[in-house]
Amino acid sequence: MISNEISVIIPVYNEVENIEHLFNRLLPVVESISDNYEIIFVNDGSTDNSLDKIISCAQKNPKVFYINLSRNFGHQIALSAGLNHSNAQCAVILDSDLQDPPELIPELYSKFKEGNDVVYAKRQKRKGESFIKIITAKLYYRLLRQLVSFDIPLDAGDFRLLSRRVVLEINKMPERNKFLRGQIAWLGFKQTHVLYERESRKGGKSSYSYAKMFRLAFDGITGFSDKPLLLVSRLGFLISFFSFLIILYAIFSHFILKQTITGWTSLIISAAFIGGIQLLSIGVIGQYISRINTNVKNRPLYVVQSSNIKNQEKKDVSVDGSDS
Ligand code: UDP
Ligand code: MG
């Protein structure tokens, strides 16, 4: 049975400086929407005192829940854990560093009430983020849109509201390499957006290193497009075709013209070129294979160390999205 009107899911990784601020700003906002709310903090293996802060919020307010994961599983998996446990008509995903203003939630909620299943918050401006991060994100989402066959919204992160049925569909998706904004776009339903200005982080620093960003970027591409594979196989054909022409020319000039093409330069260029293209292609294929490998192992997506949510065991296995 669904008991709440709205749930707010907050992934937390080393955010000790921000949790109280966030909680104090969030509480009046959700209370203005409904008395039947739940706030779910997912502690993603923080190494600071974030968990203590979360537990003290939960002790003050029985509508605050926490899921303490056994280690750092990553932002997307933390979000998935929160969505698995959400028990409300709609769920809002919110970062804990106050980059996503909680005050926007009523606007998201009113669009939900107008009949939208997904209301994502679209960034009009991004404050306090490096030029490189902004420009790579812009380029990436434009590339991704070329590669996938459905509409992925530009300039939107994970800050969004999802209806119950979208949450259930997301919970059913078995892939381990999560790219939620892609999965949500893939689902369809009625989607809309509201505009906002993304603030800079309140305290602490971003834990999204470039390595993590790259991984997420590759998950986005490999999870939703086979075009890179098609591209390398086409490239293979094209290069083989030109190589064949060069071979014909080499044989012709040796036997008919009685001239052997001289030169170390041409040899080394072609060897390096072919070598480079081959490594690149194997790398692309490797990206897909490594994801197949992760998925066939069929391990649990995350492990919960402690939580104040009752029915924990039942919820853990309900990754199939069944309403427990
Ligand atoms: N986060 C998480 N696990 C991680 C990294 C980040 O749960 O491994 C949380 C983090 O506490 C924050 C949100 O995910 O609430 C976004 O992370 P961050 O602010 O570092 O990313 P950015 O906003 O710089 O993209
Ligand atoms: Mg942030």
pLDDT tens, position by position, 201-244: 888 888 788 888 888 888 989 988 989 988 888 888 898 888 88
C-alpha 295/C-alpha 269 separation (Å) is 39
- Quick one: pLDDT at residue 288? 92
List pLDDT tens digits, range 270-292.
888 888 888 888 988 998 998 89
CB atoms within 5 A of ion ligand 2 belong to: 97, 99
Strand partners, 163: 90
Are 102 and 25 in contact, with CB atoms under 8 Å apart? Answer: yes
- Quick one: pLDDT at residue 322? 41
Structure tokens at 99: 């980059």
- Quick one: pLDDT at residue 151? 85
> What counts of helices (H) and strands (E) characterise the chain?
11, 8
pTM for the structure as a whole: 0.81
Atom of ligand 1 nearest to the CA of 157: 25
- Quick one: pLDDT at residue 314? 42
Residue nearest to atom 5 of ligand 1 (CA): 75
Residue numbers of the chain with a pLDDT score lower than 50: 313-324
Atom of ligand 1 nearest to the CA of 213: 25
Query: Which residues form ligand 1's pocket by a CB distance below 6 Å?
Result: 11-13, 15, 44, 72, 74-75, 78, 95-97, 99, 206-208
Q: What is the total residue count of the chain?
A: 324
